[in-house]
Structure 1
Amino acid sequence: MKKPDIFNRMLEKRRQAALTARKGSGREAKSRVMIAMFCFCAFYVVIGGRLVQYGMADDQATASIPRADMLLASRPDLVDRNGEILATDIRTVSLYAEPRRIVDADEAIERLQTVLPDLDIRTTHRKLSSDSGFQWLRRQLTPKQQADIMALGIPGIGFRPEKRRFYPGGTTASHIVGHVNVDNRGIAGMEKYLDSQGLADLFDLGMTVDEEMEPVALSVDLRVQHIVRDELAAAMERYDAIAAGAVVLDIHTGEVIAMSSLPDYNPNIPSQALEKDRMNRMSAGTYEMGSTFKTFTTAMALDSGRVRMGDSFDASRPIRIGGHTISDFHGKHRVLSVPEIFIYSSNIGTAKMAEVVGVQGHQEFLTRLGLLTRMQTELPEVAMPLQPREWKQINSITISFGHGVTTTPLQTAVAAAALMNGGKLIQPTFLPRTEAEAMAHAVQVVNPQTSADMRELFRLNSLEGSGRRADVEGFRVGGKTGTAEKVVNGRYSSDVRFNAYLAAFPMDAPQYVVLVVIDEPKPEEGQHAATAGLNAAPTVSAIIRRSASLLGVQPKYGRDGSAMLVSY
């Protein structure tokens, strides 16, 4: 074979190989181009589809990419039993900075101080000098502050819409409603209860709702709540007391219609809640309730079957036990019947009734009435009662007339309601509840006859005993006073008192319990004493007089209890 032929054939093969390689490379490049075009098209189709979806969706439904004002989830309104707003959300704005965009931190602070003179210079400078992308400077500005700062035109400074909790009633129901923190999270009262029912979990998950949440109704009647607070404020001033509190309770449903504790605070200024003496004394404070406890000792003795209304006890001489002497404040120094022991508030007679039942029976009865255990209700601020570690005879005697056990005033009212409603203990609620719903969970703690006897004693005390100043013509009020000496430097002081009046009305068919407590009252001008009958009882009378008609209680006059028509 000739060399040129071999050479030509090799050349031809290389030419064919190169041609094949070029064709393969072209096909591969074309495939790559097609894939790239497909990816770009798919990407823009997805973006376009989402834009169309957002454009057609409702504003609230687009919260999966939240607007600035949706980053802070809404809270439902709180309303009273008549629909009056107690708490609601309002729109506001907060000031933030993007430190990386701040040109001169010192100049920015100097200009911001012209609008926010109380701005913390050191903290703000540290924030603006940081390398972060976001820093809060001031939460919840007023519209004027926003406008003034916006006019400054500071680069790197912006505003974010938020929601702020607003309480139209201010201090009126502060301890019931509670308040939220700057992030709109409930930290006290029924606001905190709402979060415990799942609202906080939604916040933590970053979830919002597509529709505005339904208002949450409370059992409180704002009209009665205002009256209670108003009368307590007047009583504190009149008797120069350090504190006061009251509760109005529906005895058939357990609904708290009104409850107030003074000094209180404005939930629109949450920092006030941290000030001294602003606690909720009605449910979060425990006290020796004094002679109001004779109500439960008397009911215990009658319910045991060992004591009857017609029985009598010798109260002519003091009781001496364990180095202590038990005597009466205004002793009659004679044998007293059970009704006389109650209306004269005899320590001696009450102690002897407790002795008939015995120490173990006494402790069991108070536990049965819920006075020695932590109360169950929606309000988070609930204290645990205190009792002796070991009950002895001396403990039972002093506890019989209200010394030696501390419990909350609200618990005292709840236990009294059980003695007025036929003997059924109903845990209190701050939410609306029907009588049927209450009865489904009620516990029979005393027999109906005991309840009837206690209603009789309550009314008798209002007519003839220490509760005369609590009576309101036409509304048949009954109750029991309690004047407890407070412990000062480890000893009971006769000059420092915690007074209470525990009442129910109307006594022919009780519907409500009203309890008023006044802490360290002083004698009113013209008086030489400051017992509960002289200050707590008149305060109960004023509350009932102003609120009875709002509560639907019809007055009755005349000997037969019927209303009288009077012409003028």
Structure 2
Amino acid sequence: MTRTPLRPLATILQARQNGADHKAIEKENIRQRHEEMRGAARQRAEGRLLVLGVMFLAAFSIIGIRMGTLSQSEVVEPRSSTGGARIMAQRADIVDRNGRILATNIETHSLYAQPQQMIDKERVAQELERIFPDMNEQRLLKDFTGKRKFLWVRKKLSPEQKQAVHDIGDPGLLFGPREMRLYPNGKLAAHILGGAGFGREGVSAAEVIGVAGVEKTFDDILRDPANGGKALTLSLDLTIQAAMERVLYGGMKLLNAKGAAAVLMDAHTGEVIALSSMPDFDPNDRPRPIPTEAGSESPLFNRALQGVYELGSTFKIFTTAQALELGLVTPETVIETKGPMKVHGYTIGEFENKNYGKLSVTDIIVKSSNRGTGRIALDVGAERQQEFLQSLGMFDPTKIEVVEATGGKPLKPSKWTDLSAVTISYGHGLSATPLHLAAAYAAIANGGHKIEPTILKQSGAKYGPRVMSQAVAEASVDMLRKVVTEGTASMGEVPGYHVAGKTGTADKPKPNGGYYEDKVINTFASVFPAHDPKYVLVVTLDEPVETMGEEPRRTAGWTAVPVASEIIGRVAPLLGLLPHVEPVELTDITLAAN
């Protein structure tokens, strides 16, 4: 704004010459200046009011829009402003192939203490020891009377325990809401489910994380809110799993075995319908791991996925199948099995020093001749034997979606010699898990396709690359069938369900080398029904001994086979398999007329 002088000299001088009052000029200039100042102030005020009005309009518009949005949304409980509210506690369920719950969440409470708020610390310690017998009164009192302002008393409470603590009535004992993982079936399928524990914890929430099994493998998926709490569906059948575990446990105890494992698998989809390892545990109260050197003695050890064993004569069918595939033999080809047989200075013997003489390839499997499969293996050659076993998946851990499976890496010789080829042909010198064996037998059962085991429910057959022809696979099943009807697995027959399989009795290796004379690992690998193979069952027993006879019997035919037979008899109807009834010829029947 341009300021005009109140008494401009030129104007005053002119006024004096004209005889006018020069003071009136000054008053007029003051009046005009004041009017200009009032106009500028009015404009500033009007501008400020306009800006303030716009701001109020925008604020009320935002509030109105937000209120409208909230009125259209679903009502939810308010979140706590504490750090615990950021902990993702929700975890999806795990169900079996029929939708039955294997793992779920339940709401519970934790118990924590603020000692500075306690009224009678001695009484609180006494009452807590009474409610929780595993707690020590003196230890609790020491914690309560120390400098700590916060301490956990119990991470999980049952409703009864919560009520009992509430009845103590001390303000220093506080409860925090949280979710915990519940396995309603207890020990059932424990080695597959694994277990869960708490990650980040707060007084108002706790993070539930997988610590083993499928809980750990699929931890991110189970905890992902984007999945909307969709349950994880496994290939297991809860009913079949329960039946198999009951029989396996009974067989292990009856045969004085140290441990046991069983795998039931669909030969066409690779689905594991049931898998068990004994001894087992309750994932609701998962035991602590024991030192690594004794890990195989722990109930946490999964013998079906982590137990790497020499599986004995169950490998013999792979030797004959490869020879058939290469055209080196037929099932009727006669092989001389008479001893002695030496390879690189080592004598190859038979069970109980038997001498079978000339046997057909089929009879070599039926009678389980070491020399017979050894001579066939020499014809196949060490290099080709390696390639075939690798195609069956015998060199790498299985790809089943259970975290422990990565530890089940087969053990093979560092240098694969002719001697290695011979011993491996009858299951010594190469160690693998029962699941490896089940997957390899599935290739025979399904017509020659490699199968990858899976713990997830599948929608149909999942064939891998072909590892043998249809004709060779069918001939191998026929030979395995004769092992049950005529050979070492005669106790494996189940009325109505034709069983084919191979026994394996392997001396148990000592930790520092060599083998025990009176300890074995017995296996029976079976396929059923033999006329239309659908399933593979592998049963393995650690140090079994049958003591019902005059002398202890340790071979697979007396131990693993009866257990497998009982399992098949229990689960075959549950799998929807109709019994196959052989037609019989009716004689001495007279037709009577009415």
Per the normalisation by structure 2, the TM-score is 0.81
Q: Partner of 1:223: helix, strand, or coil?
A: helix
- 2:561: which partner in 1? 537
- 1:390: which partner in 2? 415
Whichever residue aligns with residue 350 of structure 1, its letter is: T
- Choose from 249, 259, 282 the match for 2:265: 249
Whichever residue aligns with residue 531 of structure 1, its letter is: T
- Give 1:125 deviation, angstroms: 6.9
Per the normalisation by structure 1, the TM-score is 0.84
Q: Does 1:511 align with 2:534?
A: yes
- Choose from 185, 210, 218 the match for 2:209: 185
- Does the aligned pair in 2 maintain the 1:69–1:160 contact within 8 Å? no
- Does the aligned pair in 1 maintain the 2:115–2:148 contact within 8 Å? no
In structure 2, do the counterparts of structure 1 residues 48 and 70 end up closer, same or farther at CA, with 3 Å as the change threshold?
A: farther
- Does the aligned pair in 2 maintain the 1:273–1:279 contact within 8 Å? no
Whichever residue aligns with residue 327 of structure 2, its letter is: G
- Give 1:143 deviation, angstroms: 2.2
- 2:448: which partner in 1? 423
Q: Does 1:377 align with 2:389?
A: no
Whichever residue aligns with residue 440 of structure 2, its letter is: A
- Choose from 463, 466, 485 the match for 2:485: 463
- Give 1:186 deviation, angstroms: 1.6
Q: Partner of 2:457: helix, strand, or coil?
A: coil
- 2:574: which partner in 1? 550
CA distance in 1, matches of 2:417, 2:24: 126
Whichever residue aligns with residue 236 of structure 2, its letter is: V
- Give 1:365 deviation, angstroms: 0.7
Q: Partner of 2:397: helix, strand, or coil?
A: coil
Deviations 1:307-333 (A, max 9, x none): 221112222113223342210014234
Q: Does 1:344 align with 2:367?
A: yes
- Choose from 242, 253, 274 the match for 1:237: 253
Pick the structure with greater CA Rg.
Answer: 2
CA distance in 2, matches of 1:328, 1:425: 31
- Does the aligned pair in 1 maintain the 2:222–2:232 contact within 8 Å? no
Whichever residue aligns with residue 58 of structure 1, its letter is: E
- 1:129: which partner in 2? 149
* Identity across the alignment (%): 36
CA distance in 2, matches of 1:48, 1:561: 90
- 1:498: which partner in 2? 521
- Does the aligned pair in 2 maintain the 1:419–1:454 contact within 8 Å? yes
CA distance in 2, matches of 1:358, 1:515: 28
Deviations 1:89-122 (A, max 9, x none): 111222356xxxx572675765654246427646
CA distance in 2, matches of 1:474, 1:512: 15
- Choose from 99, 102, 120 the match for 1:86: 102
The aligned runs of 1:202-351 (5 Å cut-off) are: 202=224, 213-271=229-287, 276-330=298-352, 331-351=354-374
In structure 2, do the counterparts of structure 1 residues 126 and 388 end up closer, same or farther at CA, with 3 Å as the change threshold?
A: farther
In structure 2, do the counterparts of structure 1 residues 277 and 34 end up closer, same or farther at CA, with 3 Å as the change threshold?
A: same
CA distance in 2, matches of 1:108, 1:453: 81
- Does the aligned pair in 2 maintain the 1:425–1:443 contact within 8 Å? yes
Deviations 1:206-232 (A, max 9, x none): x577xx523222111111101110011
The aligned runs of 1:100-139 (5 Å cut-off) are: 102=114, 104=116, 110=122, 112-113=124-125, 114-115=127-128, 117=132, 118=135, 121=140, 128-129=148-149, 137-139=153-155
In structure 2, do the counterparts of structure 1 residues 239 and 139 end up closer, same or farther at CA, with 3 Å as the change threshold?
A: same
In structure 2, do the counterparts of structure 1 residues 372 and 161 end up closer, same or farther at CA, with 3 Å as the change threshold?
A: same
Whichever residue aligns with residue 571 of structure 2, its letter is: S
In structure 2, do the counterparts of structure 1 residues 42 and 95 end up closer, same or farther at CA, with 3 Å as the change threshold?
A: farther
Deviations 1:494-543 (A, max 9, x none): 20111100111111111111110000112332252111100100001100
Whichever residue aligns with residue 499 of structure 2, its letter is: V
Whichever residue aligns with residue 163 of structure 2, its letter is: A
- Does the aligned pair in 1 maintain the 2:118–2:173 contact within 8 Å? no
- Choose from 507, 528, 543 the match for 1:520: 543
- Choose from 163, 166, 170 the match for 2:179: 163
CA distance in 2, matches of 1:37, 1:190: 62
- Choose from 434, 437, 441 the match for 2:459: 434
- Give 1:6 deviation, angstroms: 12
- Does the aligned pair in 2 maintain the 1:181–1:270 contact within 8 Å? no
- Does the aligned pair in 2 maintain the 1:81–1:220 contact within 8 Å? yes
The aligned runs of 1:16-95 (5 Å cut-off) are: 50=66, 53-54=69-70, 56-59=72-75, 71-95=87-111
CA distance in 2, matches of 1:106, 1:380: 45
- 2:473: which partner in 1? 451
CA distance in 1, matches of 2:70, 2:585: 69
The aligned runs of 1:144-163 (5 Å cut-off) are: 144-152=160-168, 154-155=170-171, 158-163=174-179
Whichever residue aligns with residue 222 of structure 1, its letter is: L
Consecutive unaligned residues of structure 2, counting only runs of 5 or more, are: 1-11, 13-20, 199-206, 587-594
CA distance in 1, matches of 2:145, 2:301: 37
CA distance in 2, matches of 1:162, 1:329: 60
- 1:565: which partner in 2? none
- Does the aligned pair in 2 maintain the 1:124–1:137 contact within 8 Å? no
